[in-house]
Amino acid sequence: MLSPSTMRIVRESGAVPNSEYLLDVEGVRKEFPGVVALDDVLFRLRRGSVHALMGENGAGKSTLMKIIAGIYTPDRGSFRLRGVDIRLESPLDALENGIAMIHQELNLMAFMTVAENIWIRREPRNRFGFVDHGVMRRMTAELFQRLNIDLDPEVEVGSLSVANRQMVEIAKAVSYDSDVLIMDEPTSALTEREVEHLFKIIRALKADGKGIVYITHKMSELFEIADEVSVFRDGRYIGTHNSRDVTRDDIIRMMVGREITQMFPKDTVPIGDVVLAAQGLSLDGVFRDVSFEVRAGEILGVAGLVGSGRSNVAETLFGVTPASSGSISIGGKPVTIDSPGTAMANGMAFLTEDRKETGCFLKLEVLENIQMAALNKGYVKSGFVTQRVLTKDCGDLSTALRIKTPDMQEPVLNLSGGNQQKVLIARWLLTKPRILILDEPTRGIDVGAKAEIHRLISKLAGEGVAVIMISSEMPEILGMSDRIMVIHEGSVTGFLDRSEADQVKIMELASH
Amino acid sequence: MAVDETVAAATTSPVKTKRRLPPEISILGVLIGLALIFEVLGWIFVGKSFLMNAERLRIIILQMSVIGIIAVGVTQVIITGGIDLSSGSVVGIAAMVAASLAQEAGYAKAVYPDLTGLPILVPVVAGLLVGLIAGIINGSLIAYTGIPPFIATLGMMVTARGLAKAYTRGQPIGVLQDDYAAVGSGLTPVIIFLSVAAIFFIALRYTRYGKFTYAIGANVQAARVSGINIGRHLIKVYAIAGLLAGLAGVVTSARVVSGQPGMGVMYELDAIAATVIGGTSLTGGVGRITGTVIGVIILGVVTSGFTFLRIDAYYQEIVKGGIIVAAVIADQYRQRRRKKA
């Protein structure tokens, strides 16, 4: 067993034995208080290949990746890097040994520039010992050119869209000249065009002999970019196959242990009166003249490219950023929505796009997270919370949504991304809304849970709730919506009825 | 509800409540440990028992009651992710105003010669009002102008102290009524402290106000989206902190039966120290009144212990500083452990 620093010296000298597998992980076990996250896991990454990891939320994919990236240390098991046994003590160890990770929740410093973020800790210095910004800018530009990325190195990362931030993360990982690149749901916030770009980069890296570990929930991506796929379930390794040798149903069966017959259970639901109508809604500099109606029992899908302003419209509808002009009427009566409180009082609920920033109370318990919005609408008597009833209702919802948590007192911080999303959905369902606004409701959620949530949304529609669903996933939008509103650069470019909608028409409206 | 059918179809295990050790256990441990250390040191250096002295224990508790009253308010402010540096100065101005309205009937050189011999409700309410107004100003500035709490309350700290000094041009206020002095005598301050602690313990744990306070500290944006009126809530929290500082001012002047412009100096630091030692995190979203009460007692034990061991007051300050830093480090460690590996 060599120490990471010895490994680094050996690697730099070029005397590393050439092995078939870049990574060879066997018998790995990782336990947390109360939960066995991984047990007896086998994982092998070949040179010059893309190896996809699939599994439901909490199945252990992220845990395995964090072990490989040096964030966690395994309790048991062997870990061989380029044929040599090694034990990584920290993310720095991993990085110095050629393993770079791009996280699902991006790790960039918002107030520093793109260049500063990429070269942090390894800034080029001039002869006085100060950071040489000119050289840094040039190095960044070269890197971007190699990867065909079009971004200004001097721009503050905080001002970039989620998609562009991801590009910066990827560039940063590539710049470390790593052999092993781990990508955790890299396309969750990218448009089709950006995904294609990413895949081009990945194929180039593959040709260079690098190994890429690719975590995703999207089957289509798996078949397009991955050479091999390994499936995990409940912390157990199920199997590895060449992507050419398996079908979509095979993988689902391995992940879930049961057949899932319908991806988008769309029931025909009687559609009632107009519940919410927006007329000429505008927010200066962001979107203009947005008008639409939603009826009871209807699911209005909102499609558009990332950055087109869909989330902004949702935030305005919900009173987070009140409109500069235009009107909203609910149930036929005009209302002024000047705060989320007012929106909720009018029967609205809003699941935001970014669960980490504007969704979860990470430090607080699952119970507190679920009940917070409902406290504004009920469960309170003379200032005191009617906790017993509230806890029961929260518990019921938690079970119904199959939220995977040791108990209701667990800090939400410790839940997987998908389960955190379910907690937020539970929060809003508890307020018994008439109008439910969802912004990317199944982002980062596995196939099994996705279907459950879609079934739930359909059921809510069946009970007369009007649903506005922003989504960047074509199958989801096409499968769930009764009508689709497409937004392009702050304006509504068209409406499509369910019967006539298809991918091409949506993309056309979204890009003009 | 839509979820009924899906509940029936669910196959995951039922949600159960796990027993977790309350965080106060470790702080209580610190308290007991410290008390024992002083006990042992006492026998070695002074030849007397530290703890087996009812008089000393009484004095510890009395001295710390005032800090404790302030700390209960400061704890709530810190839970929201803010800070209040003005407590000590508010104690000063509240003490002055209250004392000026509590002077004995017929006292010729009273601050307000026409307002002597007033029923004690008047000076008490006046002191509370001064604190409440200071708190509302703090809260409004923070809620509606985006000034960081540190700066806003720093401004109030300086302004209130200036007001306290200007009130009577620096002259102390004396000759106060006996029934006013009663507020600060005997065990009354302790009863007031414990009552205040009990009230806000209940508030933080069982009321909507309490839940919202934690929510804002944990993630203010998420709190906003959940429908909480952040501005209005922050004003409430800072107003309460101010009110309690005002109450502390009343008790302080009653105890010493006078009003002095320098009253309350550095009290805010002691209150913040007690709060942090008690397990409240400066980053917000975490904290309990029970912890603060223990933190207050710990501070009291340390102060008294030093006096008992005849150690110079200057060294006390140094050690107190060290304890605060140690407490914050311990909190960071706790946070990291909570996050799991």
The model's pLDDT over A216-260, given as tens digits with 9 standing for 90+, comes to 877 788 888 999 999 887 778 888 888 888 887 788 777 766 544
Spatial distance between the Cα atoms of B67 and B165, rounded to a whole number of angstroms: 21
Mean pLDDT over the full length of chain B:
87
Residue pair B79/B286 in contact by the 8 Å Cβ criterion:
yes
In three state form, how does the secondary structure of chain B look? CCHHHHHHHCCCCCCECCCCCCCHHHHHHHHHHHHHHHHHHHHHHCCCCCCCCHHHHHHHHHHHHHHHHHHHHHHHHHHCCCCCCCHHHHHHHHHHHHHHCCECCCCCCCCCHHHCCCCCHHHHHHHHHHHHHHHHHHHHHHHHHCCCHHHHHHHHHHHHHHHHHHHCCCCCECCECHHHHHHHCCCHHHHHHHHHHHHHHHHHHHEHHHHHHHHHHHCHHHHHHCCCCHHHHHHHHHHHHHHHHHHHHHHHHHHHCCECCCCCCCHHHHHHHHHHHCCCCCCCCCCCHHHHHHHHHHHHHHHHHHHHCCCCHHHHHHHHHHHHHHHHHHHHHHHHHHCCC
Is residue A236 packed enough to be buried (19+ CB in 10 Å), middle (13-18) or exposed (0-12)?
A: middle
* Whole-number percent of chain A with pLDDT over 70: 92
* Residues in chain A closer than 8 A to B341 (CB atoms): 32, 72-73
- A407 to B228: CB separation less than 8 angstroms, yes or no: no
Spatial distance between the Cα atoms of A94 and A2, rounded to a whole number of angstroms: 13
**Smallest Cα distance from B337 to chain A, Å:** 11
Residue environment code for A309-330, b if the CB has 16+ CB neighbours within 10 A, otherwise e: bbbbbbbbbbbbebbeebebeb
Using pLDDT thresholds of 50, 70 and 90, give the confidence band for residue B6: very low
Hey, how many other C-beta atoms are within 10 angstroms of the C-beta on A106?
15
Res B187: pLDDT: 87
**Smallest Cα distance from B324 to chain A, Å:** 23
pLDDT at A296 over 80: yes
* Residues in chain B closer than 8 A to A337 (CB atoms): none
Res A334: pLDDT: 94
Res A303: pLDDT: 92
pTM of the model: 0.75
Spatial distance between the Cα atoms of A509 and A506, rounded to a whole number of angstroms: 5
* Residues in chain B closer than 8 A to A384 (CB atoms): 206-208
- A358 to B340: CB separation less than 8 angstroms, yes or no: no
pLDDT at B296 over 90: yes
pLDDT at A189 over 90: no
The model's pLDDT over A347-389, given as tens digits with 9 standing for 90+, comes to 999 999 988 889 999 999 999 999 999 999 999 999 999 999 9
pLDDT at B341 over 50: no
The model's pLDDT over A471-508, given as tens digits with 9 standing for 90+, comes to 988 888 988 999 999 998 889 999 999 889 887 888 78
- CA-based torsion, A134, A139, A143, A146: positive or negative: positive
Q: Largest alpha-carbon pair distance within chain B?
A: 83
Res B7: pLDDT: 37
pLDDT at B156 over 70: yes
The model's pLDDT over A142-173, given as tens digits with 9 standing for 90+, comes to 988 887 788 888 899 888 877 788 788 888 88
Nearest CA in chain A to B17: A407
* Whole-number percent of chain A with pLDDT over 90: 37
> What's the N-to-C CA distance of chain B in angstroms?
38
Q: Which residues of B touch A (CB under 8 A)?
A: 1-7, 10-12, 14-18, 20, 206-209, 211-212, 214-215, 218-219, 221-229, 285-286, 338-341
The model's pLDDT over A4-41, given as tens digits with 9 standing for 90+, comes to 666 666 656 665 556 778 888 888 888 876 677 888 88
Using pLDDT thresholds of 50, 70 and 90, give the confidence band for residue B3: very low
Query: Which candidate from A376, A401, A405 shows the least CB-CB separation from B227?
Result: A376
Q: Which residue has tokens 């003249």?
A: A289
- B218 to A339: CB separation less than 8 angstroms, yes or no: no
Q: What is the CA radius of gyration of chain A?
A: 24
pLDDT at B71 over 70: yes
Res B4: pLDDT: 38
φ, ψ at A181 (rounded to 5°): -115, 130
Using pLDDT thresholds of 50, 70 and 90, give the confidence band for residue B334: confident
List C-alpha distances in Å: A479 to A116, A350, A452, A482, B306: 43, 21, 14, 9, 73
Mean pLDDT over the full length of chain A:
86
| Mean pLDDT within B297-303 | 87
Least confident of A49-63, A432-446, B97-111, B201-215: A49-63
Residue A4: strand, helix, or coil: helix
| Mean pLDDT within B111-133 | 92
The model's pLDDT over A61-99, given as tens digits with 9 standing for 90+, comes to 878 888 888 888 888 888 888 888 888 888 888 888 889
Res B10: pLDDT: 36
- A383 to B214: CB separation less than 8 angstroms, yes or no: no
pLDDT at B17 over 60: no
* Residues in chain B closer than 8 A to A432 (CB atoms): 1
- Residues 6 or more apart whose CB falls under 8 angstroms from that of A489 comprise A308, A309
Res A495: pLDDT: 95
pLDDT at A306 over 90: no
Hey, how many other C-beta atoms are within 10 angstroms of the C-beta on B42?
19
φ, ψ at A404 (rounded to 5°): -90, 105
- Residues 6 or more apart whose CB falls under 8 angstroms from that of A77 comprise A25, A26, A27, A28, A29, A41
Residue pair A211/A49 in contact by the 8 Å Cβ criterion:
yes
Residue pair A137/A153 in contact by the 8 Å Cβ criterion:
yes
Least confident of A344-358, B4-18, B129-143, B327-341: B4-18
Spatial distance between the Cα atoms of A62 and A217, rounded to a whole number of angstroms: 12
* A483-488/A299-304 β-pairing: parallel
The model's pLDDT over B247-288, given as tens digits with 9 standing for 90+, comes to 999 999 999 999 999 999 999 999 999 999 898 988 999 999
- B338 to A362: CB separation less than 8 angstroms, yes or no: no
